[in-house]
Amino acid sequence: MDDQRIWQTIDAERAAAADLVGGLTEAQWACPSLCAGWTVREVAAHLTLGPRMTVGATLGAFARARGSFNRMVDRTARAEALRPTGEIVSQLRGIVGSRRLAPGQSLKNALMDAMVHLDDMALPLGVDHSMPIDAAVVAADDLWRMGFPFHARRRFAGHRLVATDADWSAGEGAEISGPIGALVMALAGRTATIPRLTGITA
């Protein structure tokens, strides 16, 4: 995928996320997401932040989190989640079309982030969402290459991951196979899609 198509996919995933949360009840906003410790509200709030974070704001948040990236991400999401529901939805819609990345973020990472977090919300709510296959391949490659924070290569050491609906594979060893979207979620540390994979147990 070239950069233009990646941005188009990010726009589509952000719009789908806004459509999803825009029709939720308050109880559904409070539903636990696939992100440990976060509800759907925190995930939605987090998704609004990337294009809006400046270098200065990021450095300040990082300092307040005492140098912990994970703590910074958690705190910023929780702070944003205190905003009114309608404002979070509006912010999600407002970032569609933005071509700004979060400080230090790559375009492929932004793509992965948008797709994985949409499923983080959709799957617990029982909403069927399929990742675009070509974009999921890009995300799977990105997740396999990166170390922190998912460490996919370490977690799946001794296994060969094979997509059954795309031309994608990685690793060596005992085979784990399944749809590319389910593999992306597993690479990102989510266990909810493991039942869709063969050769692995939760």
Confidence (pLDDT) at 185? 98
For 134-154, the pLDDT digits (tens) are 999 999 999 999 989 999 999
> Is residue 54's pLDDT more than 90?
no
Q: Give the side-chain half-sphere CA count within 13 A for 138.
A: 23
> Is residue 44's pLDDT more than 90?
yes
For 97-127, the pLDDT digits (tens) are 999 999 889 999 999 999 999 999 999 999 9
Which pTM value belongs to this model?
0.93
Confidence (pLDDT) at 202? 63
Confidence (pLDDT) at 104? 87
Confidence (pLDDT) at 142? 96
Confidence (pLDDT) at 55? 86
| Average pLDDT taken over every residue of the chain | 95
Confidence (pLDDT) at 2? 96
For 157-174, the pLDDT digits (tens) are 999 999 999 999 999 999
> Is residue 56's pLDDT more than 80?
yes
Length of the chain: 202
What amino acid occupies position 12? Answer: A
> Is residue 201's pLDDT more than 80?
no
Percent helix, percent strand, percent coil in the chain, to nearest 5: 55, 10, 35
For 63-109, the pLDDT digits (tens) are 998 888 889 989 999 999 999 999 999 999 999 999 999 988 999 99
Q: How does 41-70 read in b/e, with b if 16+ C-beta sit within 10 Å?
A: bbbbbbbbbbbebeeeebeebbeebeeeee
> Is residue 16's pLDDT more than 90?
yes
Give me the domains of the chain, ranges plus CATH numbers. Answer: 3-122 (1.20.120), 133-196 (no CATH)
> Is residue 14's pLDDT more than 70?
yes
